[in-house]
Structures are given as structure tokens and as C-alpha cells.
Amino acid sequence: MSTPTTADNGQVTVQIADGIATLSFSHPKGNSLPGSVLAQLAAEVTTLGTNPDAAVIVLRSEGTGPFCAGASFQELQAVSTPEQGKRFFLGFARLILAMTRCPKFIIARVHGKAVGGGVGVCAASDYAVAVPGASVKLSELAVGIGPFVVGPVIEKKIGLAAFSALAVDAMEWRVAEWAREHGLYAEVRDSVEEMDQAIAELASRLASANPDAMKQMKRIFWQGTEHWDRLLEERAEMSGTLVLSEFARKAISGK
């Protein structure tokens, strides 16, 4: 089954075969995430969570460049009120909530660099497989805001110390092996081919595993996040206000 959806020059597609749902997104600007793509991803994750034909979800982006360049700078430049800013950042919040609350395991296929919100997507997955070129960076502070919305899920996955290091040094790339050592990636494979083989084998095994057991495991993985609806909304408001600051406006316009 294939369900393509075009959204603001980006695209989200779903394919289901043999119990494995492949959820793909793309955008011509480094697989960045405009609000419409964020909304469609969140909706598809929620739908797949109740689809009996899908036992496990593989989340991937298209192309050979970045896995995800994070927030759409074009949309950030268009924000003119705190309410608009909050609404944009709530898109990331809703995707994170959909992923962490989905009763099925989500495997992230990280074929390239991940920035900002892209790191949050990796962290919200239950198991991420990457290649050596999949470096990570939280660049938010460099553009006058901070990794407020994605912060809780990244901190939960890799711990406060590693999250702080990423957030404070906003210009520094951390290599894929660093991300694996700190728990963001479960595996780093030597090539795209090896990564895809590893994901295919794992997804196939999970597709025949006990769905009730996986559902209960998922609850345990994300225990303690029940208050994230309120927390992430507060964080979205923080980002939505800061993006209108003079510092942020100058930084974003230079991108």
C-alpha cells in the first residue's frame, strides 16, 4: 500500500508490506520540516498505531543528503506573532508526542546528518540505525532560540550531560559514533547497504513478535513523559516568542 501526500514542496508517504510500515518524508531543502510535513508525519504515526496491518514502523527520509535539516527557515522567517511561532513549534511537539505514544516500535533510518528537530526525531524513535556520516548538531542557540521543544525527548534518550553539551556548543557537529556512545543511535553501520540490511532484518523479526509485549515495552520506555502535553506546549511558547527577537530575526535572515 502506498499513500503519497504532497505538502508545501515536501512529501510524506506510507508503504506497508509484511507487517512493516515504512514512513518516509522528503523536502528539497535538506529534508527540513515545514509545519504541514510535521502535521502529516504526526497524523500518519497516529494512524499506523491503530492499523492492524502494521506491526512495526520504519521512519526514513529520502535522498542521499541530510537525514533532516530541522525546522523550515522559510516558515520561521514568516512568523510575525508569538501565536504563530508557538503554532509552528507545536508541530514538533505533536510529532514527538505521536511517536512516543504510538504503541508500536519506531525504527529510525538515519542515512545522513541530523540537525535540531531532526535530532529530536531520532531521539523520539525507539531504535535508530545510522551510518558514519550521520553527525548530529543542535543549532538552535546559534539562531537565537534554544532546543526547547526537542530538549525533553533528547535529554531522556541521552541524559542531561550529553544533551547540555549538544545544546551549549550549537556550532559543533558530533560524529555518529558519539551519538551511538550516548544512546541516540542504537547502531552505526559502515554503509547505507549494511544499515538497510540491519533495519530490514530487525523489522522483520519485530513484525512477527508479540504486539502486546511490544506495546507494554513501549510504555515502559517512555514512562514519566505523561506530562509532556503541557511541558511541550510551554516550550513551544518559549520558542515562538524568542524567534521574534531581534537577535533571532537577524540570525535566521542570514540563513
- Closest CA relative to residue 77, chosen from 32, 112, 24, 20: 32
Report yes or no on 196 lying in a domain.
Answer: yes
Report yes or no on 217 lying in a domain.
Answer: no
Q: How far apart are CA 70 and CA 68, in angstroms?
A: 5
Report yes or no on 215 lying in a domain.
Answer: no
Chain position carrying cell 544533551: 163
Q: How far apart are CA 27 and CA 45, in angstroms?
A: 18
Give the domain CATH number at 109: 3.90.226.10
Residue 54, SS3? coil
Could you list the pLDDT tens digit for every one of the 255 residues in the chain? 333 444 457 999 999 999 999 999 999 999 999 999 999 999 999 999 999 999 999 999 999 999 999 998 889 989 999 999 999 999 999 999 999 999 999 999 999 999 999 999 999 999 999 999 999 999 999 999 999 999 999 999 999 999 999 999 999 999 999 999 999 999 999 999 999 999 999 999 999 999 999 999 999 999 999 999 999 999 999 999 999 999 999 888 875
Report yes or no on 61 lying in a domain.
Answer: yes
Number of domains into which the chain is organized: 1
For residue 78, give the C-alpha cell: 514568516
C-alpha 8: how far from chain center: 18
C-alpha 66: how far from chain center: 13
Enclosing domain of residue 160: 5-209+224-253
